[in-house]
Amino acid sequence: MSRRHLPALAGVAVFGLLILGSAGCGVNKIPALDEQVKAAWSQVLNQYQRRADLIPNLVATVKGYAHQELQVLTQVTEARAKATRTQLPPNILSNPQAFREFEKNQAALDTALSRLLAISERYPALKSDQNFLALQSQIEGTENRIAVARRDYIIAVQEYNTELRTIPGRWTAALLYPKLKVRQTFTVARQAERVPQVKF
């Protein structure tokens, strides 16, 4: 090997060492944590959508037995429409205002849904309707899945935000990932962390 090839070979060796060193020092940790946050957020959205999809059937079933409860039925329908109609901006996870609006709409739907389920107490025939019982069970299961998805999202955001705010992650993010921002997390105490209590 000639002497003129040695500098090029040394440059390749140094580049290889830099790549290996950066992989070992956590350079890839921030993008990996960012992907975990995105995956956890997708699960949150999936579970909220599942609940929203169940509500029209629940409203229709309750309406068949309790049509005089028009105010409650209207509140649930309007809360669902507002929660599902809201366009989420692409930067929702790093946009405090949009995130709080999403959270507020979901909390309003939680409250309206709890009222809807509670009125079954006044209608014995509704309480024993098989369709209502099946829907009520699916809603309870979905509320549990929402609580788990929210918890997983909060944990993923905590890890990600901690990495972005502490050293050396802070330096790595500033140098290599300047577009990545701290993510928002849930702050409103959620009634549905406790599944709505409906006694039959």
pLDDT in tens, 61-89: 999 998 888 999 999 999 999 999 989 99
Q: Quick one: what percent of the chain has pLDDT higher than 70?
A: 81
| Helix/strand/coil for 122 | helix
- Crossing angle of helices 169-176 and 29-65, rounded to 10°: 90
**Residue 9: both structure tokens together:** 């070979």
pLDDT for position 24: 52
pLDDT for position 165: 96
Indicate left, alpha or beta for 19 from its phi (over 0: left) and psi (-120 to 50: alpha): alpha
pLDDT for position 113: 95
pTM (2 d.p.): 0.80
- 174-192 mean pLDDT: 83
pLDDT for position 71: 92
pLDDT at 175 over 80: yes
pLDDT at 8 over 90: no
pLDDT for position 4: 62
C-alpha 138/C-alpha 14 separation (Å) is 59
- Cβ neighbors of 97 (< 8 A, separation 6 or more) are none
> Domains plus CATH for the chain?
35-193 (1.20.1440.20)
User: Closest Cα to residue 172, out of 33, 35, 30?
Assistant: 30
